[in-house]
């Protein structure tokens, strides 16, 4: 009853013990809940120093629930240019949230270059 490496069993979400139907029924989590449940696996993603480096705050992160029931978090990222003293927009930081109690994880999502608005991100994520 095995699956290919990285795959999910029939009716289950990859990386989670939840089925697709159960995932669709889950309410959208807050950023604070996501931070608390992913602290064990990704302790540095919501770290104050990491967020400061990309000019992010907890309020800058947004949660999106796709039509399929997947959860995504996203935020704009900036880099500081010491030559002119300005913060330049780099792009979006997007992660897929896989809920699994206190063992929840954030998965990397590749986003095409050139996306500038939240509306473009949400339409891309579905």
- What pLDDT score was predicted for residue 12? 52
- Give DSSP secondary structure letters for 87-112: EEEEEEEEEEEE-BTBT-EEEE----
How distant is the alpha carbon of residue 37 from its chain centre? 13
CA dihedral 112, 114, 115, 116 (to 10 degrees): 160
pLDDT tens digits, 79-121: 999 999 999 999 999 999 988 888 888 888 888 888 888 888 8
pLDDT in tens, 95-106: 999 888 888 888
**pLDDT of the residue at 10:** 52
Q: What percent of the chain has pLDDT over 90?
A: 42
Do the Cβ atoms of 113 and 104 come closer than 8 Å? no
Collect all residues with Cβ–Cβ distance below 8 Å to 64 and sequence separation of at least 6: 71, 72, 73, 74, 121, 122, 125
- What number of other Cβ atoms are within 10 A of residue 107's Cβ? 14
Is 84 or 4 the better-scoring residue by pLDDT?
Answer: 84
Structure-token pair, residue 85: 């003293």
Query: Is the pLDDT reported for residue 17 higher than 50?
Result: yes
Separation of alpha carbons 36 and 83, rounded Å: 37
- Phi and psi dihedrals of 99, rounded to 5? -75, 130
pLDDT at 19: 61
């Amino acid at each position: 009853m095995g699956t290919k490496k990285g795959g999910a069993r029939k009716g289950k979400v990859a990386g989670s013990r939840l089925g697709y139907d159960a995932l669709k029924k889950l309410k959208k989590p807050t950023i604070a809940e996501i931070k608390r449940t992913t602290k064990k696996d990704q302790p540095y993603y919501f770290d104050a120093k990491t967020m400061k480096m990309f000019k992010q705050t907890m309020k800058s992160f947004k949660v999106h629930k796709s039509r399929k029931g997947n959860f995504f978090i996203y935020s704009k990222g900036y880099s500081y240019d010491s030559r002119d003293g300005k913060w330049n927009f780099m792009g979006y930081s997007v992660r897929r949230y896989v809920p699994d109690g206190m063992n929840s994880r954030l998965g990397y999502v590749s986003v095409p270059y050139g996306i500038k608005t939240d509306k473009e991100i949400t339409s891309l994520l579905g």
